[in-house]
Amino acid sequence: MKGMPRPSSCPCGLPAPYDDCCGRFHRGDAAAPTAELLMRSRFSAFSVGDEAYLLRTWHPADRPARLGLDRRLRWVRLEILETGGGSVVHAEGTVRFRAHYLERGRPGQMEEHSRFVRLDGHWVYAGTL
């Protein structure tokens, strides 16, 4: 999280302070118990510039060596549109979301339907559908 100030409220959209919400996952104090919470924590990692967390939570079969996050993008809001599976009793899950950003002050958004799987008991991002 170099060069990015830690937010007081969590960027993922849940009504909790960053340190108590996604910050605990980023620090390694806990693991996201559901695919949706992993998705939220990954959005927050993009928001605060935590490339290490993003790589740690990416399935090794498709994980890039590095991301090179674009500092011109500021991720500002996440909408969860749909979830499937991904609970504490599932081995796979999906999350369809819309992520809002600002690029050089201009608003934009991207939508994705992501797949998540459990690997060694932890949720990881396994690509898009």
Higher pLDDT, 1 or 13: 13
Q: Is residue 1's pLDDT more than 80?
A: no
Residue 108 has pLDDT above 50, yes or no: yes
Helix (H, G, I), strand (E, B) or coil at 82: strand
Count of beta carbons in the 10 Å neighbourhood of residue 60: 8
Please state, in angstroms and rounded to a whole number, the distance separating the CA atoms of residues 129 and 113. 6
> In this structure, what token pair is assigned to residue 83?
């979830």
Residue 73 lies in a domain: yes
Tell me how far apart the alpha carbons of residues 88 and 92 are, in angstroms, rounded to a whole number: 10
List, for residues 21-65, the tens digit of each pLDDT value.
999 999 999 999 999 999 999 999 999 999 999 999 999 999 999
Q: Is residue 100 part of a domain?
A: yes
Rg of the Cα atoms in the chain: 14
- The residue whose two tokens read 């409220």 is 9
Look up the pTM and report it.
Answer: 0.92
Phi-psi region of 127 (alpha: psi -120 to 50; beta: other; left: phi over 0): left
Give the CATH number of the domain where residue 106 resides: 3.10.450.50
User: What domain range includes position 39?
Assistant: 18-128
Residue 6 lies in a domain: no
What is residue 71's predicted lDDT score, i.e. its pLDDT? 87
- Secondary element (H or E) of residue 99: strand 92-103
Considering the domain boundaries, does residue 29 fall inside one?
yes
Residue 5 lies in a domain: no
**12 domain-assigned:** no
* pLDDT at residue 18 tops 90: yes
- Least reliable range by pLDDT among 67-71, 88-92, 95-99, 110-114: 67-71
pLDDT for res 8: 79
pLDDT at position 2, please?
45
Inside any domain, residue 1 = no
* pLDDT tens readout for residues 65-92: 999 899 899 999 999 999 999 999 999 9
In the chain, the number of structural domains is 1
